[in-house]
Homo-oligomer: A and B are copies of this chain.
Amino acid sequence: MDEASTINADQDRLVGVVSDLKDLLGNRLQLGVAVRDAHGHDESWHETHAPDAVAFAASTEEVAQIVKICAAAQVPVIAFGTGTSLEGQVSAVHGGVTVDLSQMNEVLEVHAVDLDCRVQPGVTRKQLNAYLRDTGLFFPIDPGADASLGGMAATRASGTNAVRYGTMRDSVLSVTAVLATGEIVTTGGRARKSAAGYDLTRLLVGSEGTLGIITELMLRLQGIPEAIAGGICPFESLDGAIDAVIETIQSGLPVARIEVLDEVQVAACNAYSNLDLPTSPMLFLEFHGTDTSVKEQSERFAAIACEHQGGSFTWTTEAEERTRLWEARHNAYYASLALEPGKKGMTTDVCVPISNLARCLRETKADLDASFLTAPIVGHVGDGNFHTIMLIDPENRRDMAEARRLHDRMVRRALALEGTCTGEHGIGLGKMAFLEEEIGQGVNMMRTIKRALDPQNILNPGKIVSL
């Protein structure tokens, strides 16, 4: 293990790098404390590790040059989109240069017939959907935050629509990326499927900037459905809600979104988003299809809910009301944080086979009810994935010890139930300790790949696997 992987970049080498980058980028290289600090943390509780410099890149070629300059001096390079990750992915734990890709934010091509588009990595999901407004198409992956598409690919993000449309794994046709050597690789074309060698696209998707920096993406789009129906359904118990989810999925209802909120999360959303939902466990749903089929789906779900002590399922195809509810759902994380201002969120992200979901949620809820921490539950339960947002003061050792204890129990429970420690947030810093437990020998295989593609360990070092 060389020093660059364990301590901040050596100052002399750094001075040379900064000088070279200044020549390349001019004012787009920033060294001010405020800019560096802003790039040293994401939206989670993980502490700030500011990079030594922030480079605002304008093109793939420029990213390649930045990486080459840093590689020659063994200085770390960290990719940054919007900083909305939740596991410390952007934190410069070993210093180095953060490459901010937010200025590379052009939608380059849209092929409506082929349902695909080519974008730069700084384009955010909302920006893309606004751009697509008149095409009849949309990009379905929505992790809540208005994240950049490069960052979403890098963390293999998903969100509320994944139960119907899959995750970033399924939505990225190919990428262009800069490797640790500064080489530029494009992993494929626009074909909907390919069997041409190793799946480099999927290797880079979810690699969190540790194997390459994504500088362009070819994305799959979806047609906006003829009709959308959505609504909410309160339940007497969390168990009842989950049983209704399981029956919905099993019956083959092609639900587009099916989300659970426990009563703590509902109360948080009421307060934050000015709603007056009954404070009981609740499902948020959405159905996509034709007028006939969304009506059929909504009625079928209402019948299922009824069998599981659900309240009445009120649904509408009217856009305004749906939007208001889904905005509240998307703001669940911020609503949770607002419950105890000043605290930070430690987010859990387990995902289990749906048949094990009721048990996993029930035992988790019992743990949380017995704890002194406030921790709403919200989840993409159609996929078996849910989050608790544990409100903590990272300086408070009692908070941290309790949050870690609960987190450990949750992950071990999920692994025992054949699940994963992270359905969609990624490993970053926060889940590294669990990855080995989850995947055993597989971590060695990951290390081998990392060492081969980045022998100097300069790409986002200290994330996913320790070397």
Cβ B420 vs Cβ A189 within 8 A: yes
Q: Is A200 interfacial (CB-CB < 8 Å)?
A: yes
* Distance in angstroms between the alpha carbons of A423 and B355 in the assembled complex: 34
Cβ A195 vs Cβ B206 within 8 A: yes
Residue of B nearest to A354 (CB): B114
- Among B166, B200, B211, B420, the residue within 8 A (CB) of A194 is B420
CB contact under 8 A between A421 and B189, given known A353-B114, A445-B453: no
Count of residues in A whose CB is under 8 Å from the partner chain:
90
**Residues in B whose Cβ lies below 8 Å from that of A445:** 179, 183, 185, 200, 453
Cβ B191 vs Cβ A351 within 8 A: yes
Q: Is A36 interfacial (CB-CB < 8 Å)?
A: no
Cβ A442 vs Cβ B190 within 8 A: no
- 1/0 per residue A147-177: CB within 8 Å of B? 0000000011110001000110110000000
Q: Is A217 interfacial (CB-CB < 8 Å)?
A: no
* Distance in angstroms between the alpha carbons of A384 and B427 in the assembled complex: 36
**Residues in B whose Cβ lies below 8 Å from that of A443:** 197
- 1/0 per residue A249-270: CB within 8 Å of B? 1101000000000000000000
Copies per complex? Answer: 2
**Residues in B whose Cβ lies below 8 Å from that of A339:** none
* Distance in angstroms between the alpha carbons of A435 and B351 in the assembled complex: 37
Q: Is A444 interfacial (CB-CB < 8 Å)?
A: yes
Give the one of A158, A349, A438 with max B CB within 10 A.
A438
- Among B113, B196, B211, B223, the residue within 8 A (CB) of A354 is B113
**Interface residues of A, Cβ cutoff 8 Å to B:** 111-116, 155-158, 162, 166-167, 169-170, 179, 183-200, 202-203, 205-207, 211, 223, 225-226, 246, 249-250, 252, 290, 292-293, 296, 349, 351-355, 383-385, 415, 418-427, 431, 435, 438-446, 448-453, 464-465
**Sample of 25 A–B contacts (CB below 8 Å):** A113-B250, A113-B353, A114-B353, A114-B354, A166-B170, A184-B441, A189-B419, A190-B352, A190-B353, A190-B419, A191-B353, A191-B384, A191-B385, A191-B418, A193-B351, A193-B383, A194-B423, A195-B420, A195-B422, A195-B424, A196-B420, A197-B442, A198-B464, A223-B250, A452-B452
Q: Can you list the 4 inter-chain pairs with the closest CB atoms, starting with the nearest?
A: A452-B452, A202-B202, A113-B355, A194-B420
